[in-house]
Structure 1
């Protein structure tokens, strides 16, 4: 019997909350502690009131990565008399400092390396992705690493998937699998690009009527078992 690894020549991964923990509250607490500020849950709630709608606009192609990164820190930048760009850079540094692979990520990547081609398509930002890949020792495992900030298009825009497929040498689409935790950007984006998808559904969220992943798992250990099962 063959397993799913014989079906796919490429597996593409999202980064945040697919390969890596992304604890924005912890990152912000660390960043602001370096300014001698105790950042609390109320501060985080106010930050998210600004940040979350910006991400929706970014993924819908309405604003740029730079606009998102700077606007979310405008208020704090005024209070601290620094530039929003500086605060955003300090935030990404703090996020890199606390970065950890998700449980099962290292074992999964090790088991796939050399057996299937691995790539990343992420809406995250360049400064964080490159540092994280280096610090976790994953940088040699993934090629290409496609970052929306560099392309100017974000998932679920089909352009970022087409760009990745071009860098991959235009493989047969039925031989490509996209893995991600975001039903809209990762799964709908992959579906629109004509490739199979696997939803990493950490919290048991319900499916929507119009988005149907090829596979669904709740953690990377389950994905490991799914890919390797005979």
Structure 2
């Protein structure tokens, strides 16, 4: 079904929070700032800058020259913010911060899929981090915002993917990432299928997403489906839509039960995953009917 797998890096393959913790601990200690206080201020500054970059208002270079300068100013400290940013990025690049199972996942997928990186960040830093984690060799192409000149979620970022991947077929590509604002929104704008990596079980958004996974195992499972179908559970007491996506052939063995909760458990047992896209099929527990839905 999908051939091109477009992987985000941070918090999808590499544990950014863990790497950031190690790097910032050293910097904060040097300046006598507690980790909790320093982190809160740094994250507020960094998040604001990255969001501005995603909107196209500032460049990545502006982030690199600004975030630690602003952090020093917030604590009325003297220092070289640009040098601190270089120290921070160098620290991120020296250790293996991959998620458990990431390398094994890529090793299993590489023989049958074309794997590419799609990431917002600094080109040299991201490449070094992938190399430090022994993941880099699994990817045939690396699309990095600092080198493309535009960030996810902008369509221009994904146009670079379309143009540079030989014989690229958009309908056979899947974007896999943890960020709703850059990865999932970027896939939506580019007209690509999306897979939200959500291991912490965050609430489902209103943004249309094809697949929501909590683990790498679930990614491998969905890649085996030949004809996925989106199913909505219908019952008069349900206050919100419950839509799942899974293999169409599994519905042939669906057994009606006394409650929609039991039906939901049955779908999950079949390997169905959450989705926020509109259903193509309905399981109506008021009438015990299974029917398809058409939209104008």
The 3 A distance-change label for structure 1 pair 31 and 131 is farther
2:179 to 173, 178, 182: 182
SS state of the match for residue 93, structure 2? helix
Spell out, residue by residue over 1:136-186, the C-alpha distance to the aligned partner (whole angstroms, 9 max, x if none): 222221121011011221000011111012110251211101100011210
How far apart, in 1, do the equivalents of 2:97 and 2:150 lie? 26
How far apart, in 2, do the equivalents of 1:150 and 1:37 lie? 36
TM-score (norm 1): 0.88
2:79 matched residue in structure 1: 81
Spell out, residue by residue over 1:38-79, the C-alpha distance to the aligned partner (whole angstroms, 9 max, x if none): 651101111122111111101111100011111111145673
CA contact (8 A) 2:69 2:82 kept: no
Alignment of 1:22-33 (within 5 A): 22-23=16-17, 24-33=20-29
CA contact (8 A) 2:116 2:139 kept: yes
Structure 1: tracts of 5 or more residues without a match? 1-6
Asked if 1:66 is matched to 2:26, the reply is no
Report the structure, 1 or 2, having the larger helix content. Answer: 1
How far apart, in 2, do the equivalents of 1:12 and 1:48 lie? 27
SS state of the match for residue 176, structure 2? strand
The 3 A distance-change label for structure 1 pair 81 and 184 is closer
CA contact (8 A) 1:19 1:101 kept: yes
How far apart, in 1, do the equivalents of 2:218 and 2:70 lie? 42
2:194 matched residue in structure 1: 197
Asked if 1:225 is matched to 2:225, the reply is no
TM-score (norm 2): 0.69
Report the structure, 1 or 2, having the larger strand content. Answer: 2
CA drift at 1:37: 4.7
CA contact (8 A) 1:96 1:131 kept: yes
Structure 2: tracts of 5 or more residues without a match? 227-296
CA contact (8 A) 1:92 1:127 kept: no
SS state of the match for residue 206, structure 1? coil
SS state of the match for residue 196, structure 2? strand
The 3 A distance-change label for structure 1 pair 85 and 99 is farther
Structure number with larger C-alpha Rg: 2
The 3 A distance-change label for structure 1 pair 163 and 173 is same
2:44 matched residue in structure 1: 49
How far apart, in 2, do the equivalents of 1:175 and 1:195 lie? 8
CA contact (8 A) 1:178 1:195 kept: yes
SS state of the match for residue 130, structure 1? helix
Aligned length: 221
The 3 A distance-change label for structure 1 pair 115 and 99 is same
1:128 matched residue in structure 2: 125
RMSD of the alignment, in Å? Answer: 2.0
